[in-house]
Amino acid sequence: MSSSASAGHSSALQGRLARLFNVAPEETPAVFAGVAVFFLLFAGYFMLRPVREAMGIAGGVQNLSWLFTGTFVATVAVVPLFGWVAAKVPRRRILPCTYAFLAATLVAFGLGFLFVRDDAHIARAFYIWLSVFNLLAVSVAWAVLADLFAMGQAKRLFPLMAAGSSFGGLVGPLLGVLLVGRIGQAGLLLLSATLIVGSAAAAWRLQCWRDRHPLHAGEAVARARPLGGNPLEGFSTVFRSRFLIGTAVFVLLMASINTFLYFEQARLVAAAYPLREDQIRVFGLIDSTVQTLAILSQLFITGRLAERLGVGVLLVGVALIMAGAFVWLAVAPVFGVLAVIMVIRRAGEYAFVRPGREMLFTTVPVDQKYKAKSFIDTVAYRGADAVSAWVKTGVDLLAQQPAVVALLGAGLALAWAATGGWLARMQPQAAAEASGDGAQSGTAAARFRTVQRPAPVG
């Protein structure tokens, strides 16, 4: 095939993809790079997730509250370190530096599992660190996307890129099942570290693409400079903005609901499947179902919903469904019902809630995309985990009735929906405020007005 014919075939394929997924032709390389970022990251994480879940149950469901508290303490310790990196490192290198550190820690744990077998302390430390690692890595990836794309592009492209996370979440557990017998847990950690490095390389390609297609003059130069400030600036920034406080409350409520369901899952799985091998299979089956549903939604539903109905439908819809699901669980507190609810909750979060709340950050000042966002995504999230874990434990002890916890969860879900609706109404005002922040936000208004649909493909 001649080079001209090959180029024509590639152009035709690109045109068909653009029409099918509502992507402008020049955006196609960025979409593939974004998909690769999330695919490699989530494949590396979900390969290890069933191992983490089984380790959590092995320590006793009654001790999960302590693991959640330990995770919160570790998160509080790590976030200032990330804040220091964000302040000192050129903006475009924040993600590569962070991922290099995370990959190094996985290698260290892999060596620990290799040379010290069945050590309870290493197992608990791994459970805690992987929980911190997950939130920080995903938060930084989304921060880069919020930095590089305007709101109009985000509505169309973020769900497609998020599909990479679902593909990774589907492939990761399968890789774990296929390879754990051959390379062991230590080998899985080393492979995961390699995938994380690959994710950083894909993110670098995304930065290079934006250099070739800048949103405004001088953008590449700005991303080559550090953000400055201090390591604790994310905390103070959140409490100076009503919009960021609302986003933090949204995350707090979401995390609390997730924790309630997580504890019920651990309790019912431990009762129904006493053997660790069976537990890992159940967790893997749930993960696979979730990711399959999320992929289909991200590719064909989420972006179109956001464009036609706005971000609010992504932030409110799943929360309202969860309110009804908790009532169902109160009436029928059995594993089958819980499994359906867990699938709906997690698939809905990946496909709708996560892309929706990341769209909120496309119009805030750039320092908030990294510093305030990391605080909300990690400290606020894990703080809600820790507090709600003890609340769940206390309610179980006092009420001795799963229905009480389920009805409390329904109330939290309604509050979650109300907060999501408020954020959707506040976003245009937040964008206008960001556009007046001077040189730091620079082009927030222009980014918000960017054409929302791609040019027709001839």
Are 342 and 265 within 8 A, CB to CB? Answer: yes
Handedness of CA 303, 305, 309, 314 (dihedral sign): negative
Are 353 and 322 within 8 A, CB to CB? Answer: no
What residues form DSSP beta bridges with 66? none
Phi, psi of 90 (to 5 degrees): -50, 140
Q: How far apart are CA 63 and CA 67, in angstroms?
A: 7
Q: How far apart are CA 358 and CA 404, in angstroms?
A: 33
Q: Which of 153, 167, 191, 189 is nearest to 358 (CA)?
A: 153
What letter does residue 386 receive in the DSSP assignment?
H
Q: How far apart are CA 244 and CA 199, in angstroms?
A: 28
Are 370 and 227 within 8 A, CB to CB? Answer: yes
36: which 2 tokens? 């690769």
Predicted TM-score (pTM) of the model is 0.84
342: which 2 tokens? 């867990």
pLDDT range class, residue 432, cuts 50, 70, 90: confident
What's residue 9's pLDDT? Answer: 56
Domain ranges of the chain: 25-448
Q: How far apart are CA 151 and CA 162, in angstroms?
A: 15
Are 285 and 335 within 8 A, CB to CB? Answer: no
pLDDT tens-digit readout, 268-277: 888 888 876 6
What's residue 280's pLDDT? Answer: 67
Res. 2: pLDDT tops 60: no
pLDDT range class, residue 117, cuts 50, 70, 90: confident
For range 175-182, the mean pLDDT: 84
Q: Which of 104, 102, 111 is nearest to 133 (CA)?
A: 102
What's residue 437's pLDDT? Answer: 54
Q: What is the mean pLDDT of the chain?
A: 85
Res. 454: pLDDT tops 60: no
Res. 154: pLDDT tops 90: yes
SS3 category, 278: helix
Q: Which of 263, 243, 258 is nearest to 412 (CA)?
A: 258
The better pLDDT of the pair 195, 307 is held by 195
Q: How far apart are CA 137 and CA 377, in angstroms?
A: 10
What residues form DSSP beta bridges with 90? 226
pLDDT tens-digit readout, 328-372: 999 998 888 999 999 999 999 999 999 999 999 998 999 999 999
Are 183 and 57 within 8 A, CB to CB? Answer: no
pLDDT tens-digit readout, 280-312: 678 778 877 888 899 999 988 999 899 899 999
Top-level class of domain 25-448:
mainly alpha
Name the strand (E) or helix (H) holding 342: helix 335-348
The better pLDDT of the pair 167, 10 is held by 167
Are 207 and 90 within 8 A, CB to CB? Answer: no
